[in-house]
């Protein structure tokens, strides 16, 4: 996921005061149990609305930043999908990111998260999520950030990969498993 906005400090404090960690702890525990070869870190002090997959010195990590983890409009379903997507960067087969060939591209990570990853998480930890709910919540957050969308692109200028435009991405994920990753990574 890549968002550019920061969660306002008062929203972060309100989420902490309301016990948001009661949702986050079990999610992280389920991921640690399901994917023991990866490291999962909550970075609640950083208010950027984002999560990230990184591979450094042989360690594969997923970072969940405070702006996303504490966002008042994102449920456990959405957080579960976001973390699965980041795990997908590490575990999905196929196309790789141009900027880091050790990580799967966006559409491959999405596809893995909504298929193999979701199945593994459910089988091992019992955790599942509602894709439509997650996409609706993410769509609302993205819309508030003013991110461009396919609805405003003329047909000839649309991105080549559905992962580059959230409305196309949302439709591809909701319609799984029909929407396979595209041929080559354009990101």
Q: Which residue has the higher pLDDT, 98 or 169?
A: 98
In sequence order, which residues have a C-beta less than 8 Å from that of residue 140 and are 6 or more positions away? 73
Classify the C-alpha dihedral 72-76-77-83 as positive or negative.
Answer: positive
| Gap between the Cα atoms of 171 and 139, Å rounded | 11
Mean pLDDT on 102-127: 94
Instruction: Return the pLDDT at 107.
Output: 86
Write down the mean pLDDT value for the chain: 85
- On the question of pLDDT at 62 being above 60, the answer is yes
User: What's the whole-number mean pLDDT along residues 78-100?
Assistant: 93
The label of the residue with tokens 């087969």 reads: 93
In the prediction, which pLDDT does 95 show? 86
How sure is the predictor about 154, in pLDDT bands with cuts at 50, 70 and 90?
Answer: very low
Of residues 98 and 77, which shows the higher confidence score? 77
> What is the per-residue pLDDT for 146?
59
Q: What percent of the chain has pLDDT over 90?
A: 57
Show the DSSP H helices in the chain as ranges.
9-17, 21-34, 66-69, 76-91, 106-112, 118-125, 131-145, 166-174
Contacts of 177 (CB under 8 A, 6+ apart): 111, 114, 115
């Amino acid at each position: 996921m890549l968002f550019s906005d920061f969660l306002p400090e008062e929203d972060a404090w309100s989420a902490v005061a309301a016990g948001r960690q009661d949702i986050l702890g079990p999610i992280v525990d389920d991921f640690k149990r399901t994917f023991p070869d990866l490291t999962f870190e909550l970075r609640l002090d950083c208010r950027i609305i984002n999560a990230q997959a990184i591979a450094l010195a042989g360690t594969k990590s997923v970072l969940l930043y405070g702006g996303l983890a504490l966002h008042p409009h994102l449920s456990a379903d959405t957080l579960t999908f976001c973390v699965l997507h980041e795990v997908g960067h590490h575990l999905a087969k196929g196309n790789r990111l141009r900027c880091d060939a050790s990580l799967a591209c966006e559409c491959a990570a999405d596809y893995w998260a909504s298929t193999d990853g979701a199945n593994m998480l459910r089988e091992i930890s019992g955790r599942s999520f509602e894709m439509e709910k997650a996409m609706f919540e993410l769509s609302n957050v993205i819309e508030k950030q003013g991110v461009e969308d396919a609805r405003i692109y003329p047909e000839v200028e649309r991105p080549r990969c559905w992962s580059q435009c959230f409305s196309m991405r949302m439709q591809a994920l909701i319609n799984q498993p029909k929407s396979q990753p595209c041929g080559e990574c354009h990101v």
